[in-house]
């Protein structure tokens, strides 16, 4: 039996164990859109019943959802988000912000966001919580935190693709869900953000099988997230713009999965010199956006709901 591989502890890795899977992301997206019951989850996502059942069970086991009885005869259940789930809010808004900028629009659900506090249509985005400058990976430095250590590089066995069968309702998180929902690709991007640009450095950082790494690097270049130059992999503007999503994944992992000693990584925002803690703001009024502050309106329908 081969000896297990170890990598440095990583909050992004731990977060991806829960949400780094496209079916799970589609279910979480459906919940934000108001879905609560099994049949509605299946209809909204187009996933097979077995996949919906499996992923909902895992989200319950992870503490993101609770399964609550709403009818005695016959017994029927619905799913309710926990605080752990609602702490995913910055990740969801950051993914939506990226998708609205870079994703294709043809055939997908279209909506606009309205900030209830100022009443204006908005596109919330991540900023430094102290100086309010928009987050950019080039403005961030990092150092090891008190929770740094080693963890086994254990990859859950997951099928590469579980594509929705309902072609009429394309999800909001379309292209970005293909990336974040494929943990291997996201971990490669994490490595490149830390200036690990060669094939060998990325391989050592992720402990990824070489065939998987080669295939993902090829796809990331083909889809425009990376470009290969002189045997190194560099971020494109499209790729660099996913940084707020990785930051939100790290902060969620720091809160729910970091060791008691503290986070494994400390980020410093160079423009203000403070430890980086992101915030999501409305660019129209500058106020922080939290759960319940946003109302979304379908641009091709009359429905509205809180996000």
Which class for 237: exposed (0-12), middle (13-18), buried (19 or more C-beta within 10 A)? exposed
Q: Is residue 162 part of a domain?
A: no
User: What is the spatial distance between Cα 55 and Cα 216, in angstroms, rounded to a whole number?
Assistant: 24
Q: Is residue 21 part of a domain?
A: yes
- Residue 56 is part of which domain span? 6-154+170-306
At residue 106, does pLDDT exceed 80?
no
Closest CA to 273 of 139, 145, 144, 143: 139
* CA distances in angstroms from 291 to 56, 69, 99, 280, 281, listed in the order given: 22, 25, 20, 10, 12
Closest CA to 178 of 103, 88, 241: 103
Q: Is residue 165 part of a domain?
A: no
% the chain with pLDDT above 90: 76
Q: Is residue 164 part of a domain?
A: no
At residue 56, does pLDDT exceed 80?
yes
Q: Is residue 139 part of a domain?
A: yes
Structure tokens at 259: 């060791």
Q: Is residue 160 part of a domain?
A: no
User: What is the spatial distance between Cα 160 and Cα 183, in angstroms, rounded to a whole number?
Assistant: 10
Q: Under a CB-based contact definition with an 8 Å cutoff, are residues 99 and 170 in contact?
A: no
User: What is the spatial distance between Cα 103 and Cα 122, in angstroms, rounded to a whole number?
Assistant: 18
Residue carrying the six token digits 């979480």: 28
pLDDT tens, residue by residue, 127-172: 999 999 999 999 999 999 999 998 887 765 544 454 444 544 556 7
Q: Is residue 1 part of a domain?
A: no
Tell me which long-range contacts 55-58 makes (C-beta under 8 A, separation of at least 24). Answer: 55/21, 55/23, 55/24, 55/27, 56/27, 58/18, 58/24
Closest CA to 32 of 79, 98, 66, 101: 79
Cα angle for residues 177, 13, 169 (degrees, 5° grid): 15
- Check residue 162 and give its pLDDT: 46
- Check residue 32 and give its pLDDT: 92
The mean pLDDT value for 73-86 works out to: 95
Higher-pLDDT residue of 275 and 1 is 275
Highest mean pLDDT among 4-13, 91-100, 105-114: 91-100
Q: Is residue 161 part of a domain?
A: no
The number of distinct structural domains making up the chain is 1
Higher-pLDDT residue of 165 and 70 is 70
At residue 270, does pLDDT exceed 50?
yes
């Amino acid at each position: 039996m081969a000896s297990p591989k170890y990598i440095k502890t990583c909050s992004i890795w731990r977060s991806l164990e829960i949400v780094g899977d496209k079916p799970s992301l589609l279910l979480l997206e459906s919940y934000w859109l108001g879905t609560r019951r099994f049949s509605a989850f299946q209809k909204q996502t187009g996933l097979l019943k077995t996949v919906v059942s499996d992923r909902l069970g895992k989200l319950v086991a992870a503490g993101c959802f609770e399964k609550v009885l709403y009818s005695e005869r016959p017994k029927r259940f619905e799913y309710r988000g926990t605080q752990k789930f609602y702490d995913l809010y910055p990740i969801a808004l950051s993914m939506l912000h990226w998708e609205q900028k870079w994703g294709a629009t043809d055939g997908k659900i279209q909506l606009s966001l309205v900030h209830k506090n100022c009443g204006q249509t908005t596109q919330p985005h991540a900023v430094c919580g102290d100086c309010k400058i928009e987050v950019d990976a080039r403005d961030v430095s990092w150092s090891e935190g008190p929770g740094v250590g080693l963890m086994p590089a254990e990859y859950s066995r997951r099928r590469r693709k579980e594509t929705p069968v309902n072609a009429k309702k394309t999800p909001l998180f379309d292209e970005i869900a293909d990336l974040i929902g494929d943990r291997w690709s996201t971990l490669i991007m994490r490595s490149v953000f830390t200036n690990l640009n060669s094939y060998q450095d990325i391989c050592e950082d992720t402990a990824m099988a070489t065939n998987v790494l080669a295939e993902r690097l090829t796809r990331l270049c083909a889809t425009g997230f990376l470009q290969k130059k002189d045997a190194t992999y560099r971020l494109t503007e499209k790729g660099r713009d996913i940084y707020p999503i990785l930051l939100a994944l790290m902060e969620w992992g720091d809160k729910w999965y970091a060791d008691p000693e503290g986070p494994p990584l400390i980020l410093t925002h160079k423009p203000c010199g403070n430890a980086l803690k992101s915030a999501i703001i409305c660019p129209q009024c500058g106020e922080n956006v939290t759960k319940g502050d946003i109302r979304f309106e379908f641009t091709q329908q009359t429905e509205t709901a809180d996000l």
